[in-house]
Amino acid sequence: MTSTAQNPPTTTAAPAVVRHAPGRGSIGGVGLVLAGAVSVQFGSAFAALLFPRAGALGTVALRVSLAAVLLLLVTRPRVRGYTRADWAVVGGYGLALGGMNILFYQAIDRIPLGAAVTLEVLGPLLLSVVAARRAASLLWAGLALAGVYLLGSGGFGQLDAVGAAFALGAGAMWAAYIVQGSRAGARFPRLDGLAIAMAVAALVSLPLGVGAAGGTLLEPGVLALGLAIAVMSSGVPYTLELLALRRLPAATFAVLASLSPAVAALAGYLVLGQGLSLPQCAAIAMVVAASAGAVLTGKR
């Protein structure tokens, strides 16, 4: 700990955030990312069950808004002592969070969950290549892209083009979410940055959801399922991911997030009955192998 005698505190400085140095706490960080992936993908599968009643926009509004309320009540974040730059970072974090959820739910309303996540992870994969700046990262990214191509040859041609475009847009927002989440974790203590960002995302998504679903969002059954989805898909995974981003470099987090297609395919099969062909399974395995290879060669 830093001695206060050597560094006296000031009244204007933002609260200090303890960060692990690169490589420290990596095992715990990996576990946090994987646990978050399981929670968010199964939460997304259950969310699809709510689409017939509340629609995609109504469901994402419930998910984000209820998660924001829970996080604000639990964390009670401080709102004083931050600079304009801090607020710009957390605002960008919230916009990326809201945009990612809105676009992704539009995607899974049109295409299978596993296919949507496979397209979405192209965003984090591209981020990992840019951030790593190593020749080996290009090899693993190429393997992942080959897996996406194989998945396409096994049935992507029959996918709704608009749904695929939404999934790719969600991938771009996912990459922005990783970068902004890492920055917010460095500027805001505990889970304060996440709670504020979730509130920003709720302000973006709630008007769209109310406009699309109206009073349906207040039905007890819809609210109950929305609360469960909020906990599984937002509260738990985003908390785990923010904690992981304090232990792992953004590039390592990005390639670990690329394991999501396998988790999503399993959730889609168990919850929604969305089966996969052997070529599609092989394609997802290629993406997973690429992610593992990128972590192993980039662990420094």
**pLDDT per residue as tens digits for the range 26-48:** 677 788 888 888 888 888 888 88
Q: What is the pLDDT of residue 290?
A: 75
Please give the average per-residue pLDDT across 61-69, as a whole number.
91
Has residue 195 been placed in a domain? yes
Report the number of distinct structural domains present in the chain: 1
| 155: exposed, middle or buried (Cβ count in 10 Å: 0-12, 13-18, 19+) | middle
Q: What is the mean pLDDT of the chain?
A: 80
- Look at residue 5 and tell me whether its pLDDT is greater than 70: no
Report if residue 271 sits inside a domain: yes
230-256 mean pLDDT: 78
Task: Say what percent of the chain tops pLDDT 90.
Answer: 22
Domain range for residue 176? 26-297
pTM, to two decimals: 0.76
As a whole number of Å, the end-to-end CA separation of the chain is 26
- Residue 192 forms part of a structural domain: yes
Q: Which residue has the higher pLDDT, 179 or 25?
A: 179
Residue 16 lies in a domain: no
The C-alpha atoms of residue 262 and residue 118 are separated, in whole angstroms, by 8
Residue 291 lies in a domain: yes
pLDDT at res. 19: 45
pLDDT score at 25: 52
Query: So what's the pLDDT on residue 288?
Result: 73
The residue with tokens 């992507």 is 156
With respect to residue 256, please indicate whether it lies within any of the assigned structural domains: yes
Length of the chain: 300
Output 73 or 257, whichever has higher pLDDT.
73
Predicted pLDDT at 21 = 45
Residue 273 within any structural domain of the chain: yes
* CA–CA distance, 141 with 299 (Å, rounded to integer): 16
Q: What pLDDT is attached to residue 10? A: 42
SS (H, E, C) the chain: CCCCCCCCCCCCCCCCCCCCCCCCCHHHHHHHHHHHHHHHHHHHHHHHCCHHHHHHHHHHHHHHHHHHHHHHHHHCCCCCCCCHHHHHHHHHHHHHHHHHHHHHHHHHCCCCHHHHHHHHCHHHHHHHHHHHCCHHHHHHHHHHHHHHHHHHHCCHHHCCHHHHHHHHHHHHHHHHHHHHHHHHHHHCCCCHHHHHHHHHHHHHHHHHHHHHHHHHHHCHHHHHHHHHHHHHHHHHHHHHHHHHHCCCCHHHHHHHHCCHHHHHHHHHHHHHCCCCCHHHHHHHHHHHHHHHHHHHHCCC
Residue 9: the pLDDT is 42
| Per-residue pLDDT at 7 | 42
Q: Is residue 246 part of a domain?
A: yes
